[in-house]
Copies of this chain bind each other. A is one copy, B any other.
Amino acid sequence: MLKVGRLADYAVLILHHLGRMRPARLAMDSIAEVTHLPLPTVRKVMKYLVDADLVISKRGPNGGYQLARPPAQVSLAEAIAAVEGPLALTECCSAQGNCEIHDRCDLADRWPGVNAIVVKVLERTSLADLDRFGRHEPHVPPPLRELMAPVRHL
């Protein structure tokens, strides 16, 4: 668990494809076809991406979608947030979070710290970086051990 929604997953998938095509424009039909996703679903996703200014759309004949920025400048955090809103592991990590216990909860001011780290990881991983990842271990470099930082033990 701790999964990202399907739609957000698709968003990344689509953005990645658009990145490989850039700066070419790609019609929605083509996107649906190449990603093997149902077209109505793609429609919904594209709306999110346009609203978030991650892609540029053009109507009319020969229209389509185009990645707004180079793939290296689009983070996974942005992609996910475009669909699901700001990343927040718990209610107390988001502004409009309403948790009844919040006032009496010992961890209310601790979770945001954890959240910040996770967000940072996703912010620093771009679409282009995905290509560098292999299966499982993403070539965890030695410095990572200390990088985790706040995060000691084991």
A residues in contact (CB < 8 Å) with B: 1-5, 8-9, 12-13, 16-17, 35-37, 72-73, 75-76, 80-81, 84-91, 93, 101, 104-107, 109-110, 112-114, 116-118, 120-126, 128-141, 143-154
With A72-B153, A143-B146, A148-B121 already in contact, the answer to whether A87 and B135 are too (CB < 8 A) is: no
Q: Is the CB of A147 within 8 A of B148?
A: yes
- How far is B9's CA from A144's CA once the two chains are assembled, in angstroms? 27
User: What residue in chain B is nearest A134 (Cβ atoms)?
Assistant: B113
Q: Which 10 interchain pairs have the tightest Cβ spacing? A: A147-B147, A1-B84, A113-B133, A113-B138, A124-B151, A138-B150, A143-B146, A141-B149, A2-B87, A144-B149
With A138-B113, A149-B144, A150-B141 already in contact, the answer to whether A36 and B104 are too (CB < 8 A) is: yes
User: What residue in chain B is nearest A77 (Cβ atoms)?
Assistant: B2
- How far is B130's CA from A90's CA once the two chains are assembled, in angstroms? 14
Selected from B88, B136, B146, the residue in CB contact (under 8 A) with A3 is B88
- How far is B118's CA from A5's CA once the two chains are assembled, in angstroms? 16
- How far is B3's CA from A10's CA once the two chains are assembled, in angstroms? 18
Q: Is the CB of A113 within 8 A of B90?
A: no
A-B contact sample (4 more), CB < 8 A, given A2-B4, A37-B101: A1-B85, A109-B135, A113-B136, A129-B153
Most chain B CB atoms below 10 A, which of A90, A131, A139 = A90
